Amino acid sequence: MITAGIDVGSLTSKAVIMKDGKILSSIILKSKPRPWESADLAINGVLEKTGLSMKDINCCVGTGYGRDKIPFIHQARSEIACHAKGARWLMPSARTVIDIGGQDCKVMKLDEKGEMVKFITNDKCASGTGRFLEVMAKAMGVELSELGELSARSKNPVTLASACTVWAQADVIQHLNEMIPIEDIAAGINNAMASRVATLVSSIGIEKEVCMTGGVAKNSGVVSSLEKTLGIRIKKIRRDDPQLAGAIGAANYAETLLNGGKI
Amino acid sequence: MTAIDSELKILLEKPLNHLVERAINEGMIPIGYACSMVPEALISVGKLFPVSMRAPGSEGTEMADLYLSSVICTYARSLLEFALDDRYKFLGGYVFTAGCDHLRRLHDNLDYLKKPGFSYILDIPHKTGGAALEWTIEEITRLASALEKQFDTDMSRESINKAIEKTNALNRALSAIGTLRKSKHPPFTGTQYHRLIMASRVSPAEYMMPLIEKFRKTAEDSEGRSEYRARLMITGSGLDDPEYTNIIESQGALVVADRYCSGSFPGLEPLDSSSNPFEALARRTLEVTRCPRMMEGFNSRAEYIAQIAEEYSADGVIIESIKFCDTWGLESAALTDQLRAKGIPVLRVEREYRQSGEGQLRTRVQAFIESIGH
């Protein structure tokens, strides 16, 4: 049984091909302005890696903000449900899932069977999302992926006066002009991000194990700052890339569909 | 349903719709109001008719932001923007209540910036009981005198009772249609019913009645809807844009009940037109509107929502509140817990008055429907 999951996000698009519950191949690429273009690129890319073609896929489920615009999927599912499902596949003991995506942040609580029982998402503003980090990294002239490593070397993190993306960017530029070490600014950015996310996590209530999915899960600076702020340990996902959680969840749902289940 | 729905849509496109225009040409006087505590029947006496103030298609509040602070809700700011833009110039006057600070500030600014021919703010107590009733009766009596003086309208008890009957007839007709939503396969969507309700709040009753009848007949001849994944109820701050309901329904929901001040609950309950009309109107304001601004009665308000959810077989409740709405902001937190304790799934969302964050709303609603197992 071969299934595919595709997650068309605002910044990146992800796709996975799974066979009997195991990942055959996966892909993460930058999203195009049109969701169907991103979906085409992602599915073709991931199929190419396996040598399979679309007709070999028994079922495909789509998710992400562009889910309703993907022409080749059998069903669309919300990214909240898919991330919860994918997180559970990546870490079967997970009960609280923190997902920080490109333009939203969500926290999901799962019951012992892995069913989502509660969720909360951020408001419309970019603060507390991947976009916040992207804007800050650009202002600093570093790669997004460098932020975690940089902040680990910080000795004296700065405090950003505001969690608002626009004001925080102005703050970052001012710190750069004052010749403050780039490591301390990076740590300040990660702390600001973590404190914003922590408010959301606290409001839903934490239950162990806690894991993080989405691209920001790969930023060790945000993860460790979040652990400090919340006073908890966030268990690192090792089974696969945490950024693939949504696509994995979608592929899992595709399997449920094939087995005659209702999703 | 498409034909009548399109007619209703047109009525909601701008504050001055063609039915209001027709009424004005025939010598009737539209009175704007922006709170469910305003006794609509009183501004329906004689040649007066009520127009619920909305800001359809609002594109921003640049001018209003100069006068109202950023913690004033976007409903109040949007209305001020429309008034400053002369889109409410056609009104003969405004009647407000001191329902919340936001509406008070709106009233102050309207009075200062765009003084209308008639402007009145009703002072409504935050408690019920004998003294509060007496106070409200006096307030409503004063408003009646002011309206009589300004518009030369007969405000005798007989005239007011006649207006109450007219309002009751309109509300009964709407209510009878609303009851069809209890069925397993209602013949119309929540969005279509929302449009009917809103059109009735912004158009003169006399001209709305034939449209309501047309809606009823069309519903009677329509097939019931079965293509939905979950039946939902919406409750919260004033929600006058049926597009919001439409977004919720686009995710596979069918909105079967609504309880917000501009909706069908609890606003359609008939008033007693046989006795002292001032007392009947005061009782409606204090006891029927069930607004969270009232200091007492949280349990009965929550119970009321749970009861409607049960009557209309809602699978879950969406509690929406406009950002910075003091009354619903506070109420919704406690209400969420209370409803969940009764086993009712709840989704709580904050929104702006103007349609925004559509993608996020779609995702949340879809996830909500999925989480309740549909």
> Same structural domain for residues A209 and A157?
yes
Q: How many Å lie between the alpha carbon of A156 and the closest alpha carbon of chain B?
A: 35
Per-residue model confidence (pLDDT) at position A196? 83
> Same structural domain for residues A132 and A38?
no
Per-residue model confidence (pLDDT) at position A124? 60
DSSP state letters, B49-86? EEEE---TT----TTGGGTS-TTS-HHHHHHHHHHHTT
Q: If DSSP codes are grouped into helix, strand and coil, which group holds residue A43?
A: helix
- Taking contacts as CB-CB distances below 8 angstroms, the residues of chain B near A124 are 356-357, 360
Phi, psi of A63 (to 5 degrees): -150, -175
> Same structural domain for residues A130 and A253?
no
Write the CATH number for A24: 3.30.420.40
Q: Is the Cβ pair A81, B356 closer than 8 Å?
A: no
Cβ neighbour number for residue B287 with a 10 Å cutoff: 16
Confirm or reject contact between B343 and chain A (CB < 8 A).
no
Position B49, amino acid: F
Per-residue model confidence (pLDDT) at position A60? 96
Q: How many Å lie between the alpha carbon of B371 and the closest alpha carbon of chain A?
A: 6
The answer to whether A94 and A210 have CB atoms below 8 angstroms apart is yes
Q: Is the Cβ pair A124, B360 closer than 8 Å?
A: yes
Q: Is the Cβ pair B367, A119 closer than 8 Å?
A: yes
> Same structural domain for residues A101 and A83?
no
Mean pLDDT, residues B220-236? 94
> Same structural domain for residues A56 and A180?
no
Position B345, amino acid: P
Domain carrying residue A249: 1-91+243-263
For residue range A34-84, list pLDDT tens digits in order.
999 999 999 999 999 999 999 999 999 999 988 988 999 999 999 999 999
Closest Cα partner for A182 from A134, A131, A229, A146?
A: A146
Flag whether the ipTM exceeds 0.85.
no
For residue range B315-343, list pLDDT tens digits in order.
999 999 999 999 999 999 999 999 999 99
pLDDT reading at B373 higher than 80: no
Per-residue model confidence (pLDDT) at position A235? 92
* A9: nearest CA partner in chain B: B359
For residue range B53-100, list pLDDT tens digits in order.
999 999 899 999 999 998 999 999 999 999 999 999 999 999 999 889
* Mean pLDDT taken over chain B: 94
Q: Tokens representing B127?
A: 């408690």
When pLDDT is cut at 50, 70 and 90, the band that residue B167 belongs to is very high
Helix ranges, chain A (H):
35-50, 79-90, 130-140, 147-152, 165-177, 182-204, 220-230, 245-258
Per-residue model confidence (pLDDT) at position A262? 66
For residue range A112-123, list pLDDT tens digits in order.
888 888 898 886
Q: How many Å lie between the alpha carbon of A122 and the closest alpha carbon of chain B?
A: 9
> Same structural domain for residues A100 and A224?
yes
Number of domains in chain A: 2
- Taking contacts as CB-CB distances below 8 angstroms, the residues of chain A near B370 are 77-78, 80-81, 116, 263
> Same structural domain for residues A222 and A249?
no
pTM: 0.87
Q: How many Å lie between the alpha carbon of A162 and the closest alpha carbon of chain B?
A: 17
Per-residue model confidence (pLDDT) at position A260? 80
Q: Is the Cβ pair B371, A117 closer than 8 Å?
A: yes
> Same structural domain for residues A131 and A214?
yes
Per-residue model confidence (pLDDT) at position B169? 96
Per-residue model confidence (pLDDT) at position A133? 84
**Distance between start and end Cα atoms, chain B:** 27
What angle (nearest 5°) sits at the alpha carbon of residue B254, between those of residues B251 and B258?
115
Residue of A19 and B360 predicted with greater confidence: A19
For residue range B243-282, list pLDDT tens digits in order.
999 999 999 999 999 999 888 998 898 998 888 999 999 9
Quote the strand ranges of chain B, DSSP E: 29-33, 48-52, 93-97, 119-122, 230-236, 253-260, 316-322, 346-351
**Nearest CB to B364; choose among A116, A117, A121:** A121
pLDDT reading at A263 higher than 80: no
The answer to whether A209 and A93 have CB atoms below 8 angstroms apart is yes
Among A92-96, A168-172, B268-272, which stretch is predicted with the lowest mean pLDDT? A168-172
For residue range B15-29, list pLDDT tens digits in order.
999 999 999 999 999
> Same structural domain for residues A232 and A126?
yes
* B363: nearest CA partner in chain A: A78
> Same structural domain for residues A46 and A119?
no
Could you give the percent of chain B with pLDDT greater than 90? 87
Residue ranges of domains in chain B, CATH in brackets? 14-157 (3.40.50.11890), 160-371 (3.40.50.11900)
